[in-house]
């Protein structure tokens, strides 16, 4: 006999597992500090690459001006300004990454807790069904 409650639970769990549960299950394999640390390391490298590309794009766009006025520029000040811009960009993106990953991890943990709770409820349904079937056939476990 089909149990509607069991089918609904199984469908809900299958939808979660195939949807956002995939990502939540992957995130739950990490400790919070490891997940955020890995994201910050990725952020460091990606921000560095992006800033280098932006700097090269700006230098390429302004190359005519830079070549004509290179002897008049205060190069140490230009280097300090470029490094200052990099540090500011890195700090801003690191803070944003930290906040984003903290929220994402908390959401994943909440989703995983609900998932395990639903699995526990499904197990109880199976246990009840097994006990009921055991009584009907006269078997004992």
Please say if the pLDDT value at position 140 is more than 80.
no
Q: What is the pLDDT confidence band of residue 136, given thresholds at 50, 70 and 90?
A: low
Report the C-alpha gap between 134 and 128 in whole angstroms: 10
Quick check: is 141 in a domain? no
Quick check: is 139 in a domain? no
Quick check: is 128 in a domain? yes
Return the pLDDT at 2: 66
State which residues form the domain around 92: 4-134
Which pTM was predicted?
0.77
Reported as a single tens digit per residue, the pLDDT across 46-95 is 999 999 999 999 999 999 998 999 888 898 999 999 999 999 999 999 99
Quick check: is 140 in a domain? no
Residue given tokens 């400790």 in the structure block: 31
Query: What is the total count of domains within the chain?
Result: 1
């Amino acid at each position: 006999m089909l149990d509607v409650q069991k089918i609904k639970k199984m469908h809900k769990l299958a939808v979660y597992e195939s949807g956002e549960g995939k990502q939540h299950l992957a995130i739950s394999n990490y400790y919070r500090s490891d997940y955020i640390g890995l994201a910050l390391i990725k952020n460091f490298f990606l921000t560095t690459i992006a800033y280098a590309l932006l700097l090269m794009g700006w230098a390429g766009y302004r190359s005519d001006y830079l070549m004509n006025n290179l002897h008049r520029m205060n190069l140490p000040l230009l280097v300090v300004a470029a490094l200052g811009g990099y540090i500011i960009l890195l700090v801003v993106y690191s803070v944003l990454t930290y906040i984003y990953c903290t929220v994402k991890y908390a959401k994943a943990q909440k989703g995983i807790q609900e998932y395990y709770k639903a699995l526990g409820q499904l197990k109880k349904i199976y246990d009840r069904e097994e006990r009921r079937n055991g009584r009907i056939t006269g078997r004992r476990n």
